[in-house]
Amino acid sequence: MKHTTAATDGPVVEEKGSALFIASAALMLVSLVVGGTSRPLNQLVIALAALPVLYLVLVSPKRMPLAWTAKLALALLGLALLQLVPLPPSLWTALPGRDLAAAALDGAGLSPGWRPLALDPGAAAMTLGTLFSPLVLHVAVCRLGWTDTRRLLAILAGFALVSALLGIAQRLAGGLALYTTAHAGDSIGLFTNRNHHADLIISGMLLLSALVLPGQLRRYRLVLSAALVVLALSVIATTSRFGITLAAPATLVALLVVWRPSPRQALTLGAAAVVGALALFYVPAFSAIFERFGEVGDDQRLTMARDTLVAARAMWPWGSGYGSFVPVYMAFEDLDMIQARYIVAAHNDYLQLLLEGGLAGLLTAFAGVVAVALLGWRMFTAAAPALAWGAWGVLVLLMTHSFFDFPLRTGALMAVYAVCTAATYTAGRRLPHR
């Protein structure tokens, strides 16, 4: 069933069928359950779950417009796929950063032959392939009405709450991790990285109001507040410094949405939240967790950022190819920082895009920031509901954390990003309920 609504972009056809919603919800849940690691098998499961959604999108009416956010993503993906186009030997060997690879081939008695821009074409293809599922999910959710989109956000918030409870149990038990990881014992949920679990939980905070209908917020204030406490405690249990830092403002924003206080009450609520946050520093059970903030000076992120930037300069302006970070970084890594474990990511996605994608990667990063800002402006002019702003806050959270980590390289958080981007697009496009 479909219906037409007035929109800021003109009349659009909006999907209202349950099949697309069910398939989209299933894909999101599969991504959340198995997307906490980048293992190839897990990525394959997510890709297979995207096929029914893709089928439903393809058989939908052709006159249904493609969201501008999806068009932008497809254009950037097409630009990235140019890395797989074979180049003649004379051109490939002349590219910056290819001299070492050409020397290695020559030493092995091999001719460079026609090779693509990406140093590791297989890794590039696999890396770009991981974008298939979130892109399909985004396109599908953009075609749902706001009611179904809200249900998806409610499922996402509910999953975050369940994951938070699991994380607290993991912290208390000192284990129960699904995967072998150095972060075992902390609150990691179904992830291998505690920072990524913190992102999911904070996303749940910002989307908490989706669990009840707008007219029922007053009735369930205490229940939602209790859920918010569980989420906040689970963020602390992750021991993620970034997560703990953002948990306080996220908690305050969620409380404001749930309680809708007057200005004077809001000041009182804010003061109480600050006092409560400060009191946690004096709880003995949390002392070891907060001690991690004293280790900021020993963090290797600044060194990794410096070495990544050096490698990016050597590969400028074409980049080394998506998926090639590990071997390329090793060639430029500070010898004093070499350890038994190798660095799997730059812990700064913008610098890693610069290294792997070169000028195209820089354009991708810039386009992402501008798109999120534009979505926020469109929602502002459309008087979007508070829940939509919560979804927009999730986008800001993930893009900000990308300066210090790599949240959007996990299938689970890519799905969160895809759904929340679609929610902000929907809220800024249609005005059926305002």
Dump pLDDT digits (tens) for 355-385: 999 999 999 999 999 999 999 999 998 888 9
Amino acid at 277: A
The range of the structural domain enclosing residue 47 comes to: 2-79+126-298+345-429
pLDDT at 299: 64
CA-based nearest residue to 417, from 146, 148, 199, 249: 199
pLDDT at 1: 44
Give the CA radius of gyration of the chain.
23
- In-domain check, residue 268: yes
Backbone angles phi, psi at 38, to 5 degrees: -100, 20
- In-domain check, residue 248: yes
- Point out the residues of the chain with pLDDT beneath 50: 1-13, 431-434
pLDDT at 282: 65
34, 375, 430, 66 alpha-carbon torsion, rounded to 10°: -60
Amino acid at 159: F
pLDDT at 283: 64
- In-domain check, residue 143: yes
- In-domain check, residue 200: yes
- In-domain check, residue 11: yes
- In-domain check, residue 391: yes
End-to-end CA, the chain: 23
The whole-model pTM stands at 0.90
pLDDT at 169: 94
- Structural domain total, the chain: 1
pLDDT at 162: 97
- In-domain check, residue 434: no
**Omega into 317 within 30° of 0, i.e. cis?**
yes
- In-domain check, residue 92: no
